[in-house]
Amino acid sequence: MPKACNAFRIFLIFTTFIAYLKSVLWRFVLPALAVFTFLIHKYLKTRISIDAVEKFLRMQQILGLVRFAYTDITAITGHFREKLGQEGYGSVYKGVLLPGDVHVAIKMLGNSNCKGMNLSVRSPP
């Protein structure tokens, strides 16, 4: 009988150990794995959207605002002939950049401190 008793004790220890491992797995490992998976998903999703924007900007060859002198702006807009509209801080004019015949919208700021020194041009969407 002592062998049967020892085998039963070993069986009880083994099943208790398995139950303990299951509780550790359910409490700590699986939630950590779920959080890790979620963070990886968010990182990849954000990275894909950033790559798409960068690819679009590279395709448009516009990596930021381009600065022009006032004389260049008057040439681009044809001396401010075609006014597209009036917005919060100034008037918007239509212009054409000659190297690629690219149509642009140029906003002239009214009552600002720039005094025509440097102006920014952006292509309309």
Residue 122's pLDDT is: 58
Residues 46, 93 within the same domain: no
Q: What is the CATH number of the domain that holds 117?
A: 3.30.200.20
pLDDT over 70 at 49, yes or no: yes
Please give the residue range of the domain that contains residue 47: 1-63
The C-alpha atoms of residue 79 and residue 22 are separated, in whole angstroms, by 78
Q: Which DSSP state fits 82?
A: -
Total domain count, the chain: 2
Residues 116, 88 within the same domain: yes
Q: Which DSSP state fits 124?
A: -
Question: Which residues, at least 6 apart from 28, have a Cβ–Cβ distance to it below 8 Å?
Answer: none
Residues 1, 57 within the same domain: yes
The C-alpha atoms of residue 105 and residue 94 are separated, in whole angstroms, by 5
Last residue of a domain, one of 47, 63, 79: 63
The C-alpha atoms of residue 125 and residue 116 are separated, in whole angstroms, by 25
* pLDDT tens readout for residues 69-111: 889 889 989 998 999 888 777 889 999 887 777 888 888 877 6
Residue 61's pLDDT is: 61
Residue 118's pLDDT is: 47
- Give the dihedral sign, CA 112/115/117/119: positive
Last residue of a domain, one of 63, 96, 111: 63
Q: What is the pTM of this model?
A: 0.39
Residues 11, 34 within the same domain: yes
Residues 41, 88 within the same domain: no
Residues 57, 4 within the same domain: yes
